[in-house]
Amino acid sequence: MDDRLPKRLVPDGLWEIAAPLLPVPKCRPQGGGMRLFDDRAVFTAIVYVLTSGCAWRHLPAEFAVTAPTTHRRFQTGTRAGVWRRLPLLHRQHTPVEMADGTTKPISKAEIGDKILNAEPDENQDDYRRVDGIIVTTAGRNFIVLTIKTFHGPVRLTTTGHHRFWEAGSHHWVEALRLEVGDRLRSESGQVRRIIGIRAYISSAVTTSCTPIT
């Protein structure tokens, strides 16, 4: 397993948000219940299963936590409502790259900030000034895209109106209009095919920036 994967799955910012929400493991009737595994390691393993589609019993040994412990903590978190709250928080913590090379959560972006902007068919990136911040708290359409990668299927949750560069048509396409078989371009420039789409409606806080074009 790539040593960088845990950090990509659970960056420091997400862990700072998630850690206070996680319930403290209780002693089990059959004994035990001590924290034999690092909380962040278990949480990272849970995120891996939820985003990759991997079965609990097939959790890679490289995560250094057992599948039963990971599944038990997931069930405990479910009863505590953790997973209903984290997607909302994670969307608010999505990083955007600034002109000086640093990143900040999109919820912290301000009018006047210069953020990375790129047209995939062009050979250079540019930075454009944010001229508007849109915060939505009402119910919205969300789309779960399942994308084929070299490491297996990956699920990506986005708002229905978020635009993606569709490599086949060479146009920006809203998530609501994407179809199975469409090809998306990743940050590294590689093309990945959509193999599944699921839509749902949820109430969540989302933040969008509108750059000057």
The domain ranges of the chain are 5-89, 130-211
CA 20 centroid distance within chain: 19
Model pTM above 0.75: no
Q: What is the mean pLDDT of residues 102-116?
A: 79
Structure tokens given for 209? 């920036």
Phi-psi region of 163 (alpha: psi -120 to 50; beta: other; left: phi over 0): beta
Question: What percentage of residues in the chain have a pLDDT greater than 70?
Answer: 69
Q: What pLDDT is recorded for position 193?
A: 93
Summarize pLDDT for 28-56 with one digit per residue, the tens: 555 554 457 889 999 988 888 776 667 78
**Tokens 């146009």, located at residue:** 171
Q: What is the mean pLDDT of residues 196-210?
A: 71
Q: Residues, the chain, total?
A: 213
Q: Identify which has the larger pLDDT, 201 or 87.
A: 201
Q: What pLDDT is recorded for position 118?
A: 61
DSSP state letters, 37-57: S-HHHHHHHHHHHHHH---GG
State in Å, rounded, how far the first CA of the chain is from the last one.
Answer: 40
Per-range mean pLDDT, top range of 33-37, 144-148, 160-164: 144-148
Lowest-confidence pick of 74-88, 129-143, 199-213: 199-213
Q: Identify which has the larger pLDDT, 148 or 137.
A: 148
Q: What is the mean pLDDT of residues 68-83?
A: 83
Summarize pLDDT for 80-96 with one digit per residue, the tens: 777 766 655 556 666 67
Q: Identify which has the larger pLDDT, 99 or 3.
A: 99
**Neighbouring-strand partners of residue 211:** 130
Q: What pLDDT is recorded for position 196?
A: 92
Does the domain at 130-211 match CATH 3.50.50.60? Answer given as no
* pLDDT beyond 60 at 155: yes
Q: What pLDDT is recorded for position 99?
A: 77
Distance CA 65, CA 108 (A): 34
Distance CA 166, CA 101 (A): 26
List Cβ neighbours of 177 (8 Å cut-off, separation of 6 or more): none
Q: What pLDDT is recorded for position 34?
A: 47
